[in-house]
Amino acid sequence: MARGRQLAWLSGFLVALTVALIATALSAGAGPAELPLSWRSEPGYVAVDSELWLMTNPSCGWVGGKLLTNENNPDWPANSPGCGYVEYYWAPTCTEGPQTFTMTRRLDLPGPPADLVASLVSYHNQPMKSIELVVNGTPILTSTHSVHKVNIAARRSAFKFGMNEIQVVAQKLPTKKPCNADTTDTGIWLALYAKFEADLVVTAKDPGRLPSALFSTTFTVTNKGPSWENYYSAGMTVSTENLLEPIKVAPSGTSFAPGSGLAKGCTAYTSGSYSTTCVFYEPLAPGESRTFVVEYVYKAPATGNFADSFTRTYSGGGDTLDPAPANSFVSTQGGACRPVPVSGPCVKP
């Protein structure tokens, strides 16, 4: 498998894993009854790829306008993901004078997309006074004629986290007679593709070997954007079976009382190693960071010398696709031993 495909698979896996953890936490009563936003269920949104395929057709949930006819040569195939094919629309009554027609779609989205491409097409390439794609009141694509697959990623800032209003606004020129009377002669369609990405970067301090049985350190999860995370996870794995209890992970500033259990929203796993992953039901905006404290206790033999080497892995994940999943993990080498050397790693006695 090529590296690009490996990373794409890993990023999709992280999204799926975080969603699965959400479901586990909810079923266990660890989170809210409903998540704050759920664009994963929006028509046209493909959750596993964090993509929006929004076309003008009845399945995509547009308000305003009358369906006229389908497009036989769409810019994207009719079997594209999301809500598929494109169809022409115009006002229910098409007048002979100048006329402005508006279609509206409101939907939740995870903020600005990384990739943004749009087509605005008039029926038979009929000249218009203007055709606009408007997002939250800001025109991001304007033309007087049909345009195809225009890269408008530079206008991504018009999108926001949460509810967005997307509109197609077309103004036709005057005609000699009322249009769309006997046959279709005036109409507009839109095809919009957006890919949302949140680059989560994990950084961690490396405490090296254990100076005592108690291990404590911090790690940080940062969203490099350009999109938001609606919710996210943070966790740690230690590749040894020799721990006294599950790893504790919590937001920075948390004090772990002796014998305390896992923090709310955290799940522990033990199978040849120890892992704890915590889901946080809060947005993480581009540029924001969260720091977590980690603690665990090594199960050292009561007497005698020993040495144990293991890997510590810190991780972060979210519900938006990560374009660089490799930097969502940090691994450091650690160890526990008796006697503890003055410097350097643990060595086998």
Q: Please report, for the domain that includes residue 222, its CATH number.
A: 2.60.40.1530
Q: Are residues 181 and 153 in the same domain?
A: yes
Q: Are residues 261 and 144 in the same domain?
A: no
Q: Per the structure block, which two tokens stand in for 153? A: 């990623």
Residue 92 lies in a domain: yes
Q: Per the structure block, which two tokens stand in for 83? A: 């809500």
Q: Per the structure block, which two tokens stand in for 247? A: 């790893």
Q: Are residues 171 and 297 in the same domain?
A: no
Question: Torsion angle of alpha carbons 270, 274, 279, 283, nearest 10°?
Answer: -160
Q: Per the structure block, which two tokens stand in for 7? A: 């990373």
Residue 170 lies in a domain: yes
Of 128, 114, 335, 81, nearest to 224 by C-alpha is 114
Residue 14 lies in a domain: no
Looking at 139, 164, 195, which one is the last position of a domain? 195
Q: Are residues 224 and 330 in the same domain?
A: yes
CA–CA distance, 238 with 309 (Å, rounded to integer): 10
Residue 165 lies in a domain: yes
Measuring CA to CA, how many Å separate 213 from each of 65, 209, 253? 69, 10, 21
Amino acid 60: pLDDT = 92
- Domain, as residue range, for 122: 51-195
Are 294 and 216 within 8 A, CB to CB?
yes
Residue 43 lies in a domain: no
Amino acid 237: pLDDT = 94
pTM: 0.85
Counted domains in the chain: 2
Q: Are residues 191 and 214 in the same domain?
A: no
Residue 39 lies in a domain: no
Helices (H), 273-330: none
Q: Are residues 76 and 191 in the same domain?
A: yes
Strands annotated E in the chain? 45-46, 51-55, 66-70, 87-90, 99-110, 115-122, 130-135, 138-143, 147-151, 161-172, 188-195, 198-204, 214-226, 232-238, 248-251, 266-270, 274-280, 289-297, 306-318, 329-338
Q: Are residues 170 and 241 in the same domain?
A: no
Q: Are residues 150 and 243 in the same domain?
A: no
Residue 115 lies in a domain: yes
Q: Are residues 93 and 216 in the same domain?
A: no
Amino acid 192: pLDDT = 96
Are 227 and 286 within 8 A, CB to CB?
yes
Return the CATH number at 69.
2.60.120
What is the chain's pLDDT, residue by residue, as a tens digit (349 residues)?
Answer: 344 444 444 444 445 445 544 444 444 444 443 444 667 788 899 988 999 999 999 999 999 999 999 998 899 887 788 887 899 999 999 999 999 999 999 999 999 999 999 999 999 999 999 999 999 999 999 999 999 999 999 999 999 999 999 999 999 999 888 899 889 999 999 999 999 999 999 999 876 665 567 888 899 999 999 999 999 999 999 999 999 889 999 998 887 877 778 888 899 988 889 999 999 989 999 999 999 999 888 888 888 888 888 899 999 999 999 999 999 999 988 888 888 777 767 776 6
Q: Are residues 203 and 330 in the same domain?
A: yes
Residue 235 lies in a domain: yes
Q: Are residues 69 and 96 in the same domain?
A: yes
Amino acid 18: pLDDT = 52
Amino acid 2: pLDDT = 45
Looking at 174, 195, 216, which one is the last position of a domain? 195
Looking at 139, 167, 195, which one is the last position of a domain? 195
